[in-house]
């Protein structure tokens, strides 16, 4: 399959996964993790560490935002398990996309910087997350965090290209 068709199908599949996880959250936890782990295992073994690094960094970023009072996830934990599954799937897909895409790293970084906060805005609309500060402040911090996250990830991945 041509890489552009693969990228398109991966994006559609991830969007569907994201929507199901955000809407059903804890009700599908086993399935969310099973799918995310499967996607991670489908990566070449040399790329799995990059996806795990992105998963840990992204989960850490979410935990930081929750600890600082920017956001809260509904539930009893700082970072719910469904969000960790979402990060693992995102990381597996983003790692694969980065390897397949012919787009320059700066465009991928820009897409992540814009798409990440947009996903949180949609998550807020469906009740998966609450912004504890005005939306423009939360989105501003999120865009900054996603920019740094994507820059470091693409710099790290670029060493393997």
- What pLDDT digit, counting tens, does each position of 59-84 carry? 999 999 999 999 999 777 889 999 99
> Measured in Å, how far apart are the chain's first and last C-alpha atoms?
21
- What pLDDT digit, counting tens, does each position of 93-129 carry? 999 998 888 888 889 899 999 999 999 999 999 999 9
The proportion of the chain whose per-residue pLDDT surpasses 90, expressed as a percent, equals 76
CA distances from 58 to 6, 7, 123 (A): 24, 22, 16
Contact present, 81 and 97 (Cβ < 8 Å): no
d(C-alpha 135, C-alpha 47), whole Å: 35
Task: Name the residue among 57, 117, 54, 38 with its Cα closest to residue 91.
Answer: 54
* Amino acid 1: pLDDT: 58
Task: Name the residue among 61, 72, 77 with its Cα closest to residue 129.
Answer: 72
126 phi/psi in degrees, rounded to 5? -95, 5
* Amino acid 161: pLDDT: 46
- Predicted TM-score (pTM) of the model is 0.92
Q: Name, in order, each residue with C-beta under 8 angstroms of 33's C-beta and a sequence gap of 6 or more.
A: 81, 85, 88
């Amino acid at each position: 399959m041509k890489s552009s068709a693969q990228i398109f199908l991966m994006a559609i599949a991830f969007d569907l996964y994201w929507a199901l996880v955000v809407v059903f959250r804890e009700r599908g936890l086993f399935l969310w993790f099973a799918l995310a782990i499967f996607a991670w295992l489908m990566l070449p073994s040399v790329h799995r560490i990059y996806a795990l690094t992105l998963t840990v960094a992204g989960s850490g970023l979410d935990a930081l935002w929750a600890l600082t009072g920017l956001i809260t996830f509904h539930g009893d934990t700082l970072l719910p398990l469904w969000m960790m599954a979402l990060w693992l799937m995102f990381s597996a897909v983003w790692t694969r996309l980065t390897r397949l895409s012919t787009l320059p790293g700066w465009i991928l970084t820009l897409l992540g910087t814009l798409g990440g906060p947009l996903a949180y805005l949609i998550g807020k609309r469906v009740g998966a997350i609450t912004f504890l500060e005005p939306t423009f402040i939360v989105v501003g911090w999120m865009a900054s965090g996603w920019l740094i996250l994507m820059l470091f990830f693409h710099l790290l991945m670029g060493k393997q290209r």
